[in-house]
Structure 1
């Protein structure tokens, strides 16, 4: 009797650990697949903290981000359904045995603000991440120890191969979709519907964090840093780069580094853009040298459309004057340029370039370089077009859609596979009967 109760207690404990691990790994992998570029930027932060950024190929963070999302989601998916009951717990234990001491080092050394385990969806401090990993490590050890008897399959042997394959194929396709288009779920402060002005506000009584943005300009081979207060009036200076640093830590609103400065004369355009009652198109291109110019004709068409209807159009970039001039020569760009912090631009939209539509500081719409509106869509003023209005689709609607796209084909393929197995079994039985006769 005691052994029976002990086995039952072990089974319940292993089941709790199993589903905890499955849930965390599925969520973590899905978040990385949802925002591969954000994961790649976090990998770049790690490489810089370790001093490896110049030793690793530029493509590594992006390939690594894709691989991490697929790997974590697949492990969680397999653990959830009880597929590959030997290798899955082993790999999970190996992952947690590596990540736990790594996050302890992050908590002590604090080279980056957060580990990025759950992207922008859930922000954890380094110490919170470490203690979270301690819990997951205990769970991984428990599941690994009793993996042979404690993990019960949720699918039959007949279809487990199909479920396993489908989970991997789905997350790969989802990752590629989010790379080509934009993240389906946008957890950043510049999501559609966000009021940038409100995102910059500080609650009454809170002391704000003080930032200082410096702009690096060059003249006669000499580089010099300037702030907004002592911006050079001499137009012979050439813009090189911009940097934002914390002067004094305090309350940080969701948006704390949004500023737009005219590339032509250094005028601060931030308030003018955010207070504009009409529509404003922002072409966001952190690095014009690496920007995709395959759809430049569509960008120029949007610019012509904005001129025709009296809308403001501005290209925000962190590129140098030389790169801006090169972009203008290569694309025939006639629109004005403005300077914004690189990290801010990468946060606004995960595309280089990408297009953002604002109205009085509210993000109305976003488009990646692969989904820019064309002349067939822009055939009326924006206030008469669906793209000029906020999309009523909520995160809940998107979640239901994603679950539908995931579960629908999986159920259909599973039923087809079971039907085929049943038909094959009947056929084999009939052939055997005929042979006996």
Structure 2
């Protein structure tokens, strides 16, 4: 057992600073430095009471262990995403919970497996196969619009943003005219720390003010999906919205708050993360024309492109867990009740698991990344995300002969869900 390794000052600030996550290479440098010296480190606030201290876990093996052991490392009772104490207090006062949204992400057993089972079959590949025709039509139309806008386009605005958004909105019964509203609400929920995404000046607000804006977005989501649920109870279809609306657990319908949380997590996490991975893949291919030409000539490389993009971008950048018992991780004594940050960015760039981790390598094998999590809380929509990306890139490779950077890309300022917010490209039609 080693003495507790403490992080404070500039290093601690960078771990929780959303703007640090926008400076990708600098962030990876930070995690390399921490992982090499103190792979499990106690993060302390400079200002007492600003946030509760937590353990930062940066090594792949340790993050994998925690992710898989859902009995020893709980999603409740502390927040599952890093939060300042002011924000936690506001949420508790507003909802009676440490989290503004109760969903699959925050539940533990025995509730979690019962709720997950409700839609798990719907998201399996054999069921998703029925969506392939619609996805191919949507992907082709998306690429057609990109080419029509060209030769220079913002890939995020024209492709990687709207394409997965439309997919998820379709399975939730949201009409196209409401998509912009859903996107803005998602950005307030996930991208509120970025002034270009939130559109509300949230980057200048106190943590409590930010949570008030987020709470408003959650309330709007809840009201909207209450209408969707009511319609799907009266007129059920084969979409996932109908599954949620008509679900029962232990013979009872889902409580309104839990049902709303189910809709919200599918609606928000289902498109922002896929958008980030898609944009990351395109950025890497634009920087490496030889790799783009290879995958265009040999489509068997495409699954590797998709998987490497998900690792390389790590759109869900962290989750928090709470120790259910005393234990030891990385030589550090973790006490029951301690809060831990499992940082997927750091784990997915651990050179002990991924040689030359900053290099985008479509042929990387094995590629057992943690971008989808692991264990009982592994991403429910991982098969849909892979299918969406594969079909979109098939359409791109069919229609685009070459792609190259047309300016500086910019990444979102966010500690939780992150990715490129702009990607200027020059596309040459086939």
TM-score by length of 1: 0.24
